[in-house]
């Protein structure tokens, strides 16, 4: 019974399912306890959580070479 496609054959029990939205409120799909994990697994985590890995890894360049601590003197 394990063809790896529960999300394709499965129909949620209406009273036990809910609509799943991404972090921006965009409707993704209807899920229930049975299929939630599999259905949401096709979406990238950043869609669900609201940030991307690029945001997390965004390089912060300290500009240490160019900035000598000028205070402006005003
Ligand atoms: Zn379901």
Taking the centre of ligand 1 as the mean of its atom positions, its distance from the CA of residue 24, in whole angstroms, is 22
| Within a domain: 72 | no
Taking the centre of ligand 1 as the mean of its atom positions, its distance from the CA of residue 62, in whole angstroms, is 48
| Within a domain: 17 | yes
Taking the centre of ligand 1 as the mean of its atom positions, its distance from the CA of residue 60, in whole angstroms, is 42
Domains identified in the chain, total number: 1
Q: What's the confidence (pLDDT) of residue 68?
A: 59
Mean pLDDT by 10 residues, the chain (74 residues): 66 96 95 95 90 70 65 63
d(CA 45, CA 20): 13
Domain of 10 in residue numbering reads as 6-56
Q: Name the nearest CA neighbour of 4 among 44, 47, 41.
A: 41
Taking the centre of ligand 1 as the mean of its atom positions, its distance from the CA of residue 12, in whole angstroms, is 4
CB within 8 Å of 32: residues ≥ 6 apart: 12, 13, 16, 17, 18
| Within a domain: 71 | no
Q: What's the confidence (pLDDT) of residue 58?
A: 73
Q: What's the confidence (pLDDT) of residue 9?
A: 83
């Amino acid at each position: 019974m394990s063809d790896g496609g529960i999300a394709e054959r499965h129909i949620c029990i209406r009273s036990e399912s809910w609509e799943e939205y991404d972090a921006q409120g965009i409707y993704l799909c209807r899920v229930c306890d049975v299929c939630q994990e599999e259905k949401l697994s096709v979406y990238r985590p950043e869609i669900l959580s609201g940030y991307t890995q690029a945001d997390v890894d965004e390089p912060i360049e300290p500009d240490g070479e160019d900035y000598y601590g000028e205070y402006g003197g005003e």
